[in-house]
């Protein structure tokens, strides 16, 4: 214990020494006789603050990008300047300033008039600013672009749109979640207004939980994760809700063949605040009931947000999300699952250089399972309470500093079985509830080293404690899993007793330093080189031995027998604009390795398991690849082509448990490995009334394990299997088409509508979701059966707003 305490002490000393060093460095780059101009940028039409707007002094290299709340601050020597505000799709603003003292300017900018030769695709920042920014492996999606893309059943979907970009894929048609650079679904940190979302799917993966009418900004970090984020080793998806229209009452919505939605926004407190309320509900259950079906499937979600401006320097935000799915199979089976979040935030501007945000966040994911024939219900959940404080200090044009701290308290309820009748043959069962505390402190700097070289570097120190409140099983030789040499299989270790821990005890404590760094070197006005490194620790794990995530998967914390995942990622990229940013190209290579990645022994049983450590082995994973993205940003026809060449593998040796491990300790493909992934997305605007969209997707088939032989034992035919994930499903490909029609509108009519006709999988490709093997009862021959979820799927949706 003394050694452990000393280790944490020196890690903390190292962290705070780096903070001090950064502050000392920052004082050296502040010039004499400099002044600061600061303020907020917002949309003149609805009052929404704009994240990613560029503010710079014309004729200089001094500039900054607004933060998540539209705040900017830049410092320059005394003198007269032209302040220029730009944001893609909006009219530029110029303001003459005489910088003889600190000044504040808040700007409201308006959308540019629609022109056929100026159509926005993805970028929310001017392309040249992106080249200089020391940020790589980042994807940003514009909501209007998302709404133009063809989607299944006519439902706009942010996650499926992200999967059209390099390095991001799903785990098969109709599956939930997403995978980034060969990582698992549980390795993605998904945030909605800073609250953690544990299940991103509706209807078992057909739709995502994000209602596009309520979303303002979407940003996915595939690598180079900033130090303010922690807890997941693969990616961070940061989704921000609209604040609400502070100018007037406004509404948007849509009516589709599966679901409908409606969002209302309006000002509050004489335009000192605003609110947003957005709802969405499917009616597949009503259609099935009308058709006389006993089965039912449905979902709903509700987005809420309000804010109040106390004064110029203080603003409060309150947001929430509530979503739920329900599924019934006749009278015998039912399932329900959903997310609930709430976030109370306080924005405070200390002065023209220091901005802060304090957040108190609640998040819960729970599911219920009912089996009438067996007369029992199953309930489970994970809940967390998060308090975080983030600050940003704009020392100078050349140096900006982010720093802060956070603490998350987890409550894991892995499951409870409740008999529904007195005659049920199922006994009540309550699995041990688990508790944990994750804390983190961080500092991150953006530093312009020279006119051509800019760096972003930082350090995060995270700590995790598995807390008491339940007994812990002890095993012979401290081995929860042992190898049976006679049978050639892994088995549960021998339980020799248990230790009871009180709630105030720490069963196991971990601490990790997580350095992050990236560099951007500007070759010229149209090209740059970037490099990045990040180390991230992940302390909670999703337990699932299926090929894709399901609502019944269980989260569990690191502890006495499960170590945290530790990942290092390296990336190098080349970025270039062509013809004055009309075209752009991005190319990145990356390598990522992860230690302590768990996998499951053959025949593992995860459901109703109180000692999950007896079902898993610890290994390592690696992923590497090449990503290419070419975009056409302007003109009647816009779109992109993305290509990913990648490899994702895992190795799980036997370790102290003995034996060779899974797959004889050799590397094997992860279920989310895709050798080739090609996506083409295009949009053609014919005129003000008509526009057309298309998607074309090709992916290497998902790795699976097929039987490679069979033998008979006492008259029973038993299959033998090849190495784990050594086979693949057939290649996946499809073509989607869409047509958008906007009827003639009179200038004085506020209601605006459009029709969207879509065809998903236009040439009716029967892509394999799975391939099962069996024996024909009549002929005795072995047969393989392909299961496909979608053929061709037409859809029609009417969208409106006023």
Cβ neighbours, 10 Å, residue 489:
12
What pLDDT is recorded for position 11? Answer: 56
Residue with tokens 């605007």: 685
- H or E segment to which residue 532 belongs: strand 527-538
Residue with tokens 């997580």: 514
What pLDDT is recorded for position 172? Answer: 76
Cβ neighbours, 10 Å, residue 169:
27
How many helices and strands in the chain, by DSSP H and E? 5, 53
Compute CA distances 230 → 77, 227, 457, whole Å: 37, 7, 15
Is 70 exceeded by the pLDDT of residue 6?
A: no
Is 80 exceeded by the pLDDT of residue 94?
A: yes
Do residues 683 and 691 make contact, with C-beta atoms less than 8 angstroms apart? yes
Residues 236 and 239: their CA atoms lie apart, in Å, by 10
Nearest to 310 by CA among 266, 345, 338, 340: 345
Burial of 777 (0-12, 13-18, 19+ CB in 10 A): exposed
Cβ neighbours, 10 Å, residue 477:
10
Q: Which of 4-8, 173-177, 398-402, 427-431 has the highest mean pLDDT?
A: 398-402
Structural Rg of the chain based on CA atoms = 27
Q: Say whether 543 sits in a helix, a strand or coil.
A: strand
Contacts of 361 (CB under 8 A, 6+ apart): 194, 195, 196, 341, 342, 343, 344, 385, 386, 387, 388
Range in 107-116, 326-335, 750-759 with the lowest mean pLDDT: 107-116
Question: Residues 649-663: pLDDT tens digits?
Answer: 999 998 888 888 988
* Beta strands 79-86; 103-104: pairing state: unpaired
What pLDDT is recorded for position 334? Answer: 83
Q: What is the mean pLDDT of residues 702-710?
A: 84
What pLDDT is recorded for position 28? Answer: 46
What pLDDT is recorded for position 344? Answer: 97
Q: Say whether 124 sits in a helix, a strand or coil.
A: coil
Q: How many CA atoms lie within 13 A of 543 on its CB side?
A: 27
Q: Where do runs of H (alpha helix) occur along 503-621?
A: none
Do residues 261 and 276 make contact, with C-beta atoms less than 8 angstroms apart? no
Contacts of 395 (CB under 8 A, 6+ apart): 26, 27, 29, 30, 75, 353, 401
Residue of higher predicted confidence among 80 and 784: 80
Question: Residues 433-446: pLDDT tens digits?
Answer: 999 999 999 999 99
Is 80 exceeded by the pLDDT of residue 677?
A: yes
> What token pair was written down for 117?
């030769």
Residue with tokens 């949309």: 43
What pLDDT is recorded for position 122? Answer: 38
- Residue 80 CA from chain centroid, whole number: 44
Do residues 202 and 208 make contact, with C-beta atoms less than 8 angstroms apart? yes
* pLDDT class of 609 with cuts at 50, 70, 90: confident
Question: Residues 426-436: pLDDT tens digits?
Answer: 778 888 899 99
* Beta strands 703-704; 707-713: pairing state: unpaired
Do residues 710 and 717 make contact, with C-beta atoms less than 8 angstroms apart? yes
Is 50 exceeded by the pLDDT of residue 87?
A: yes
* pLDDT class of 27 with cuts at 50, 70, 90: very low
What pLDDT is recorded for position 53? Answer: 86
Phi and psi at residue 306, to the nearest 5°: -145, 155
Can you give the pTM of this predicted structure? Answer: 0.90
Do residues 641 and 630 make contact, with C-beta atoms less than 8 angstroms apart? yes
Contacts of 286 (CB under 8 A, 6+ apart): none
What pLDDT is recorded for position 19? Answer: 53
Strands (DSSP E) contained in 289-433 are: 296-311, 314-329, 333-349, 354-371, 376-396, 399-419, 429-430
Residues 674 and 171: their CA atoms lie apart, in Å, by 10
3-state helix, strand, coil in the chain (%, to 5): 10, 55, 35
What pLDDT is recorded for position 307? Answer: 95
Is 50 exceeded by the pLDDT of residue 2?
A: no
What pLDDT is recorded for position 331? Answer: 76
> What token pair was written down for 51?
């994240």
Nearest to 234 by CA among 226, 244, 245, 223: 223
* pLDDT class of 558 with cuts at 50, 70, 90: very high
Residues 456 and 709: their CA atoms lie apart, in Å, by 55
Question: Residues 764-775: pLDDT tens digits?
Answer: 999 888 888 777
Measure the CA angle with vertex 166, ends 162 and 167; round to 5°: 90
Cβ neighbours, 10 Å, residue 580:
11
> What token pair was written down for 200?
């991103």
Is 90 exceeded by the pLDDT of residue 235?
A: yes
Q: What is the mean pLDDT of residues 493-501?
A: 91
Phi and psi at residue 145, to the nearest 5°: -65, -45
């Amino acid at each position: 214990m003394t050694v452990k305490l000393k280790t944490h002490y020196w890690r903390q000393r190292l962290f705070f020494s780096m903070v001090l060093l950064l502050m000392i460095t920052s004082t050296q780059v502040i010039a004499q006789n400099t002044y600061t101009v600061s303020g907020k940028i917002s949309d003149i039409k609805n009052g929404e603050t704009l994240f990613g707007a560029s503010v710079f002094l014309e004729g200089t290299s001094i500039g900054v990008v607004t933060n998540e709340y539209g705040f900017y601050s830049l410092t320059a020597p005394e003198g007269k300047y032209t302040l220029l505000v730009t944001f893609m799709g909006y009219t530029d603003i110029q303001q003459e300033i005489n910088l003889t003292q600190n000044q504040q300017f808040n700007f409201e900018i308006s959308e540019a008039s629609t022109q056929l030769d100026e159509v926005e695709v993805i970028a929310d920042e001017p392309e040249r600013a992106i080249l200089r920014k020391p940020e790589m492996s980042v994807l940003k999606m514009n909501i209007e672009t998302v709404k133009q893309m063809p989607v299944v059943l006519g439902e706009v979907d942010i996650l499926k749109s992200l999967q059209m970009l390099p390095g991001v894929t799903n785990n098969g048609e109709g599956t939930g979640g997403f995978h980034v650079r060969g990582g698992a679904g549980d390795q993605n940190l998904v945030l909605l207004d800073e609250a953690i979302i544990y299940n991103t799917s509706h209807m078992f993966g057909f739709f995502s939980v994000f209602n596009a009418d309520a979303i303002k900004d979407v940003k996915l970090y595939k690598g180079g994760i900033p130090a303010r984020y922690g807890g997941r080793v693969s990616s961070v998806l940061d989704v921000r809700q609209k604040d609400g229209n502070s100018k007037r009452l406004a509404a948007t919505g849509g009516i589709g063949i599966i679901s409908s939605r409606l969002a209302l926004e309006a000002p509050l407190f004489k335009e000192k605040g605003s609110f947003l309320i957005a709802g969405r509900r499917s009616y597949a259950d009503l259609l099935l009931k009308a058709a006389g079906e006993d089965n039912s499937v449905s979902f709903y979600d509700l987005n809420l947000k309000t804010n109040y401006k106390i004064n110029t320097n203080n603003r409060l935000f309150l947001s929430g999300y509530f979503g739920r799915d329900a599924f019934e199979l006749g009278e015998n089976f039912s399932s329900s699952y959903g997310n609930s979040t709430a976030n109370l935030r306080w924005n405070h501007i200390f002065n023209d250089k220091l901005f802060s945000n304090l957040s108190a966040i609640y998040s819960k994911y729970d599911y219920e399972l009912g089996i009438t024939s067996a007369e029992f219900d199953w309930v489970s959940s994970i809940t967390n309470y998060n308090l975080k404080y983030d600050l940003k200090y704009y020392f100078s044009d050349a140096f900006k500093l982010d720093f802060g701290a956070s603490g998350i308290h987890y409550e894991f309820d892995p499951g409870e079985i409740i008999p529904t009748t007195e005659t049920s043959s199922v006994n009540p069962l309550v699995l041990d509830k688990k508790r944990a505390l994750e804390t983190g402190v961080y500092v991150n700097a953006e530093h312009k080293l020279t006119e051509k070289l800019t760096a972003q570097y930082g350090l995060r120190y995270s700590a995790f404690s598995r807390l008491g409140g339940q007994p812990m099983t002890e095993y012979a030789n401290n081995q929860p899993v042992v190898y049976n040499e006679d049978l050639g299989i892994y088995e549960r270790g021998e339980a020799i007793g248990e230790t009871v821990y009180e709630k105030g005890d720490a069963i196991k404590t971990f601490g990790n330093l997580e350095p992050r760094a990236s560099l951007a070197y500007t070759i010229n006005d149209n090209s740059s080189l970037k490099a990045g490194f990040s180390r991230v620790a992940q302390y909670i794990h999703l337990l699932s031995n299926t090929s894709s995530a399901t609502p019944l998967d269980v989260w569990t914390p690191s502890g006495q027998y499960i170590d945290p995942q530790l990942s290092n990622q390296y990336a190098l990229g080349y970025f270039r604009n062509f013809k004055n940013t009309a075209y752009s190209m991005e190319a990145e290579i990356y390598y990522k390795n992860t230690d302590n990645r768990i996998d499951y022994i053959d025949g593992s049983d995860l459901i109703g398991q109180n000692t999950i450590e007896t079902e898993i082995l610890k290994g390592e994973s690696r992923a590497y690849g090449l990503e290419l993205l070419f975009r056409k940003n302007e003109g009647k026809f816009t779109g992109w082509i993305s290509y990913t060449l990648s490899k994702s593998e895992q190795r799980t040796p036997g370790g102290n448990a003995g034996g060779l491990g899974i797959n004889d300790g050799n590397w094997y493909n992860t279920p989310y490995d895709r050798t080739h992934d090609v996506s083409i997305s295009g949009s053609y605007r014919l005129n003000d009334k008509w526009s057309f969209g298309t998607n074309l997707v090709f992916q290497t088939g998902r790795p699976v394990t097929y039987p490679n032989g069979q033998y008979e034992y006492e008259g029973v035919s038993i299959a033998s299997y090849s190495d784990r994930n050594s086979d693949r499903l057939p290649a996946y490909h499809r073509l989607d088409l869409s047509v958008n029609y906007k009827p003639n509108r009179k200038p004085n009519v506020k209601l605006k509508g459009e029709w969207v006709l879509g065809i998903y999988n236009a040439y009716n490709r029967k892509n394999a979701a799975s391939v099962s093997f069996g024996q024909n009862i009549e002929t005795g021959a072995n047969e393989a059966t392909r299961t496909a979820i979608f053929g061709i799927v037409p859809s029609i949706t009417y969208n409106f707003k006023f």
